[in-house]
Structure 1
C-alpha cells in the first residue's frame, strides 16, 4: 500500500465520519490504517519506529476510547464506529464497506482453539449497541443486528437479527432495510 492509498482511505473514513477529527471511532480507524500501512514498509530499520508509533496509537485507542481494532483485521471503506466504549474486534475479522458499529459490540471467536474462525460482515451491515457476533459467522449485506443480540449463525442479506440467541427476521421493504 502506498502513501497515496493510505491518504485515500483516510479521506474516505473522514467523509464517512462526518469530517469530525475528534470522533474516537475515526481516530481508531486512523490508527488501524496506519498499522496496516506500516507493515508494507520493507526495511525493518524504518518499520521499527513506525511499529512503536502504531502500538502507542493502538493502546491509546483501546485504553482511552475502549476501541480495540488490531491491524490484522480487514476493514473496508467508509466504516463508522458510531460510539466509543467496549468495542472489541478480533484480528481475523473482516468488515465490509459502509458498516456501522455501535458501542459495546464484540466480534470474536468462540474458542481459542480456532483463532481464525472470526465473523465476516458484508457491506452496509449495522450493529446495534451491545451486539455480540461469535465464530465463523457471515452477516449478509444490508443486514442489521439488534441491540444486545448474540449472533451464532449466519444472517442472510437484508435480514434483522434480534434476541439471545439471535433469531432472524426478514425485513419487508427497503425502508426497513435502511436503503
Structure 2
C-alpha cells in the first residue's frame, strides 16, 4: 500500500481531522518509513533532514515519540496525545488505540531490543506501561495506569499494578 493510501486511511481513523496531533505523529512515522525506500542515498539525505525535523517537532510539541523503525499497523489511533513513548522495536497491529501517558518499551538495559508486540484492535488505557518482550493478543485491553510485564491472551483484560488478567464483561 502506498504512502498516500495509508495516510488517507489514517486520516479517516483520526476522524478526518488532519490537525490532530495523533494523526500528525502517524503521518511523520509513515513519511520516515517511506523515505528509507528512496534510492540512491544522496536523494534520501534531504528527506532524512526533513524527517528528523518533523520527528522532533512532533516529539517535543505533541509529546508523541514514535520512531520510524517501530512497526505500525493500519488505522492506529493515538488518542489524547501527550507523554506517549514507543520503543523502536515495538510492533503495533491494525486498529489499535493508544491513549496519553503510555510507554511501550524495554524492561532492562541488558535486553535493549525487547519490546511489546500488540495484535489487532488492542486498546491501551491512559498511563499504561507495557514493558519487555510481551505479546498482547487480538482484541486485548489494558486498563489505565496498568504496569504490564507479561503476555495477555486474545480478548484478555489486564488491570492493576502489577497487571493481572481479569475476565472481560460483555458491554
Judge same fold: TM > 0.5, yes or no.
yes
| Cross-structure match for 1:74 | 71
Structure 1 runs of 4+ aligned residues shifted over 6 Å read none
C-alpha separation in 1, matches of 2:154 and 2:163: 15
Counterpart for residue 56 of structure 2 = 59
Asked if the contact 1:101/1:128 (under 8 Å) is kept, the reply is yes
Match of 2:95 in 1: 98
Q: Using the alignment, how far apart are the partners of 2:68 and 2:109 within structure 1?
A: 19
Alignment partner, residue 147 of structure 2: 150
What residue ranges of structure 2 are gaps of 5+ in the alignment? Answer: none
Match of 2:6 in 1: 9
Aligned equivalent of 1:35: 32
Q: Structure 1: how far apart are the matches of 2:167 and 2:28?
A: 36
Q: Who is 2:21 aligned against?
A: 24
Alpha-carbon contact 1:138-1:154 (below 8 Å) kept: yes
Post-superposition Cα deviations, 1:1-24, rounded to whole Å, max 9, x if no partner, equal xxx711111011011000001100
What secondary structure does 1:107 align onto? strand
Using the TM superposition, give the Cα deviation of residue 134 of structure 1 relative to its aligned residue in structure 2, in angstroms: 0.2
1:159 to 156, 161, 166: 156
Partner of 1:169: 166
In angstroms, what is the RMSD of aligned CA positions?
0.9
Deviation per CA, 1:109-132: give whole Å up to 9, x if none: 011221221000000000100000
Contact 1:158 1:170 in 2 (8 A): no
- Where does structure 1 lack aligned partners over 5 or more consecutive residues? none
Offset of residue 172 of structure 1: 4.1
Q: TM-score, normalised by structure 1?
A: 0.93
